[in-house]
A and B are shown apart, each in its own frame.
Chain A
Amino acid sequence: GDSVTQMEGPVTLSEEAFLTINCTYTATGYPSLFWYVQYPGEGLQLLLKATKADDKGSNKGFEATYRKETTSFHLEKGSVQVSDSAVYFCALTRDGGATNKLIFGTGTLLAVQP
């Protein structure tokens, strides 16, 4: 079945460091891919998405490129801030389906220190 694998956390970085959170997926067909962010005490918020191969999603300085050849959707940011501290979830949904049930990764905790 479909699945998403994320790198284990926590990831601890200093402010202004470069961030990469790895995400790989297994799916038949052509899934859409998402990154969600969850700040403490809040629900998940959509951070960015990509719906087809080679698409790049971007938002708030974060980027991820849909790589079909490597089945990956790694999240990157050039310079993290303390306010980026949160849990990040990679997810996929099967494209063209009757519903958009999301398959989530386990989440990666990011802690940014000043």
Chain B
Amino acid sequence: DAGVIQSPRHEVTEMGQEVTLRCKPISGHNSLFWYRQTMMRGLELLIYFNNNVPIDDSGMPEDRFSAKMPNASFSTLKIQPSEPRDSAVYFCASSYTGGGQPQHFGDGTRLSIL
């Protein structure tokens, strides 16, 4: 079975540019999570969706960040405008809804904002 697929794997761009990260969850999973990982802050949950509906976006750092899930097989995380402090590895994870269900992670997008 295909796992969670993220693209691109690496992104290098200049500050002020718009960045779009993409995620395809595992087929049949109905919960989707976006995380950010840095050395300073560790692993942070940014937002999660249940049945394509955003449930909790309290982890989104600023209005520059937005996330969408237009259907069950695709989600995007957008940063506009990007800043150097947004440099991090961004992970997407998916799972079945319900207690005890593990999340399955993608390999992440390593984002560098110059």
Contact = CB atoms under 8 A, between A and B. Distances in A.
A40 B103 CA distance: 19
A14 interface: no
A43 B99 contact: no
A76 interface: no
Interface residues of A, number: 25
A107 B35 CA distance: 15
A45 B100 contact: no
A31 B103 CA distance: 15
Interface in B83-114: 91, 93, 95-108
A3 to B, nearest CB: 13
Given A51-B100, A99-B97, A100-B31, A43 B42 contact: no
Nearest to B43: A104
A77 to B, nearest CB: 20
Interface of B: 4, 31, 33, 42-43, 45, 48, 50, 55-56, 91, 93, 95-108
